């Protein structure tokens, strides 16, 4: 079974731009979660989607948003990029809803904001 | 609110030696606890997960962790380190619709 895939793997943007990251979960998984990883703040939970609905949300500004499609694929959008948004963005999928479920992570998208 | 503290940002062991990575958690509800490993330029891979079924949890690659409620700890151990164990390890706690990770411990294995 194919793992979680994320596209693109690397991205360079400039301040003020917006960006969309994509995540395809493992087949049969209905939950997708997003995380931000930076050297300074470490790993932080962004949000979780299940059945096309955001179920849980971390402590991030409204510039960070996401959605999930009927095939469980998910996109994450960051508007008005700031230098501090430079990070590795990780997507994880799980079978059921809830962060207690075992999550399988993708390789991440490395975003650099110049 | 939940939190995780990993004691020691860097741990160095010799090949064949015991690996001990420390994790303490804080949670207002019965926690789910996880250990993940991250290799360079890769995502996280689950090593093991505590779900209250048993206090001693066995994971992949010879790792195990023991849940100690009285100490609010969930330390990760492996009896004999292998060169391939060199990576960054993260402890995490979930509950109350939130997930928190520790800052990570980088494990170095010396030949």
CB contact under 8 A, B99 and A33: yes
Cβ–Cβ < 8 Å for A22, A86: no
Residue A51: CB partners within 8 Å, gap ≥ 6?
Answer: A30, A68, A97
Q: Which residues on B lie below 8 Å from A100 (Cβ)?
A: 32, 51, 94-95
Q: What is the per-residue pLDDT for A100?
A: 82
Q: What is the rounded average pLDDT for all residues in chain A?
A: 95
Name residue B81's beta-bridge partners: none
Q: What is the mean pLDDT of residues B47-60?
A: 90
Least confident of A6-20, A78-92, B50-64: B50-64
Residue-wise pLDDT for B29-41, tens only, equals: 888 999 999 998 8
Residue of B48, B90, B97, B100 to mutate for A, most A C-beta atoms under 10 A: B97
Nearest-Cα residue of chain B relative to residue A107: B43
How close A21 comes to chain B (CA, Å)? 15
pLDDT in tens, A37-66: 999 999 999 999 999 999 989 999 999 999
**B44 is written with which tokens?**
């996280």
How much is the pLDDT for B29?
82
Strand A42-50, strand A53-57: pairing: antiparallel
Q: Compare all CA atoms of chain B with the CA of A33 and give the residue at the minimum distance.
A: B99
Which one of B32, B44, B103 has the shortest CB-CB distance to A105? B44
Q: What are the pLDDT digits (tens) for B77-89?
A: 999 999 999 999 9
Mean pLDDT, rounded, for A66-94: 97
Beta strands at A10-13 and A109-113: parallel, antiparallel or unpaired: parallel
Dihedral in degrees, nearest 10, Cα atoms A102, A106, A111, B1: 0
Does position A2 have pLDDT exceeding 90, yes or no? no
- Inter-residue contact A113 to A10 (CB < 8 Å): no
pLDDT at B1 exceeding the cut of 90: no
- With cut-offs at 50, 70 and 90, classify the pLDDT of residue B54: confident
Please, what's the b/e burial string for B96-106 (b: 16 or more CB within 10 A of its CB; e: otherwise)?
eebbbbbebbe
Q: DSSP for B3-14?
A: EEEEE-SEEEEE
The answer to whether A109 and A7 are in contact (CB under 8 A) is yes
- What pLDDT, on the 0 to 100 scale, is given for residue B81? 97
Residue of B nearest to A9 (CA): B41
**DSSP characters over A38-94:** ETTTEEEEEEEEETTEEEEE-S--TTEEEEE-TTS-EEEEE-S--GGG-EEEEEEEE
Instruction: Say whether pLDDT at A26 is over 80.
Output: yes
**pLDDT score for B95:** 84
Per-residue pLDDT at B53 exceeds 80: no
| pLDDT exceeds cutoff 80 at B101 | yes
A107·B101 Cβ contact <8 A: no
A43 Cα to chain B: minimum distance (Å): 6
Contact of A54 with A86, CB cutoff 8 Å: no
Which residue shows structure tokens 């990993």? B6
Q: How far away is chain B from the Cα of A80, in angstroms, using its nearest Cα? A: 26
* B29 close to A (CB below 8 A): no
């Amino acid at each position: 079974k194919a793992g979680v895939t994320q596209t693109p793997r690397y991205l360079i943007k400039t301040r003020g731009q917006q960006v969309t990251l994509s995540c395809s979960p493992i087949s049969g998984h209905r939950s997708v979660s997003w995380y931000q990883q930076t050297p300074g703040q470490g790993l932080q939970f962004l949000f979780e989607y299940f059945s096309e609905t955001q179920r849980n949300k971390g402590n991030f500004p409204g510039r960070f948003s996401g959605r999930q499609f009927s095939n469980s694929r998910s996109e994450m959008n960051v508007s008005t990029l700031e230098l501090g948004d430079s990070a590795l963005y990780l997507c994880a999928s799980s079978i059921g809803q809830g962060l207690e479920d075992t999550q399988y992570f993708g390789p991440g998208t490395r975003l650099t904001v110049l | 609110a939940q939190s995780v503290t990993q004691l020691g940002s860097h741990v160095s062991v010799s090949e064949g030696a015991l690996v001990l990575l420390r994790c303490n958690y804080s949670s207002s509800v019965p926690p789910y606890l996880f250990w993940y490993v991250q290799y360079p330029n890769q995502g996280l891979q689950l090593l093991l997960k505590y779900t209250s079924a048993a206090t001693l949890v066995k994971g992949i690659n010879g790792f195990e962790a023991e849940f100690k409620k009285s100490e609010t700890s969930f330390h990760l151990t492996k009896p004999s380190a292998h060169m391939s164990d060199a990576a960054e390890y993260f402890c995490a706690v979930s509950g109350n619709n939130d997930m928190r990770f520790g800052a990570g411990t980088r494990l170095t294995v010396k030949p």
